[in-house]
Amino acid sequence: MAVWRRRLTTSQSFESFLRFLVFQSFGQHGRELITSELALRLLSIISGEQSIPNMDPVYLNNILSKLVLKVVPMENRNGRKLVEDGDLCERRNGRGVDLNRNWSVDWGKKEKDYDPYEENPGVAPFSEPETQIMRKISGAFNPHIWANVHSGMEALFMPYDHKNRTPDGLLSETMKFVLKEVNRLHCKGRCSVGSGGGSVGYLAHGTATDYMYDVNKVPMSFTFEIYGDKEASTKDCFKMFNPIDMKTYNRVLNDWCGAFFTIFEMGPHRLEAMKSSNGSADGDKLVSIDEYLEGYLMERSSRYGKRVEVLELGMQEIRTYFRLFLLSSVLLMFMFCSRISKSKYTAIRPIVSAVPL
């Protein structure tokens, strides 16, 4: 998992920066290899190793300066290994469970066309270690934006996956507005926009995005489908879910990296505007860097479950080092005295001739 925070110069005021928290998951299904490639491209752009064509680096840096971005480049490591070993149609994890059916919202419900090979939800919600880890991370991070990245088609989905409709209210309209802008700017109108359940042609139960929206209350919860070959045979899963030529490969990565930056820029502005207009609590998640660090450092728990101040932790370390210093000094003094004593004993011993009499 990669966590990236923008470094501030000493001349910049911490209080003047609001941090917008973004959580992204890639590689949830093993056969969708292109999604993890997108994660790596995004991270390389953030680190300055690569750039997005026709995008000003200053513009990108300005967007990044207000973000805390948490990225899981490959959620389903064991499923990915099965694909790399030759099972190119495998989407489940190493235990045969679809990780995007193992979340608790409407878990376990099966449609008439249910295929256990494709959609096995597991024996219970969060039965899989991957979903347990993701739930823990998302609960602790408390993001403003969640993006679950897949391939198989070109689409920009919002909740719900288990219903044939989107949520009601201003927040839903805000998400829809952002997705329509991304579709216009980066998909050139090709992407389907709307709820996953209403746009993809089937309902999905126990998905990550529905959990993030309904349970974790993430204001902007999205599922993105970044590529799909409609002409590929259903038996050719690699071609169906992944580009097979470099031109398409680079186009997909550049287009979707650009789409992410559009969302990174629009998301905070739209939520702030919504908060200003109706006092929505969803905008209250915005935190200053001081608050973020204070929550991370000042309120973390010790191994005994007690809240320990950073100053107290520092004093504990100083005491530990001082004790080690005293112990080392005593040991050195003992060794020094022993050596002196041994030298004196050698000096006063009678000299015995080595020549036989």
Chain-centroid distance, C-alpha 134: 8
- Rounded to a whole number of angstroms, the distance between the first and last alpha carbons of the chain is 82
Q: Which residues contact 119 (CB under 8 A, 6 or more apart)?
A: 98, 101, 110, 204
Instruction: Cite the beta strand spans of the chain per DSSP E.
Output: 2-5, 18-25, 67-72, 145-150, 153-158, 192-195, 220-227, 287-288
Chain-centroid distance, C-alpha 6: 16
* Radius of gyration for the chain, computed over Cα atoms and rounded to the nearest angstrom: 28
Can 128 be counted among the known catalytic residues? no
Catalytic residue among 128, 130, 225, 265: 225
Helices and strands in the chain, H and E counts? 12, 8
CB 44 within 8 A of CB 253: no
Whole-angstrom distance, CA of residue 120 vs CA of residue 308: 43
Q: Is 130 helix (H, G, I), strand (E, B) or coil?
A: helix
Question: Look-up: residue for tokens 């650009």?
Answer: 258
Residues facing 4 on adjacent strands: 69
Cis peptide before 160 (omega within 30 of 0): yes
Whole-angstrom distance, CA of residue 286 vs CA of residue 68: 11
- Which residue from 265, 187, 261 is spatially nearest to 225, judged by alpha carbons? 187
* Torsional class of 48: left (φ above 0), alpha (ψ -120 to 50), beta (otherwise): left
The secondary structure of the chain in percent helix, strand, coil, rounded to multiples of 5, reads 50, 15, 40
Question: Look-up: residue for tokens 């728990």?
Answer: 301
Active site residues: 225
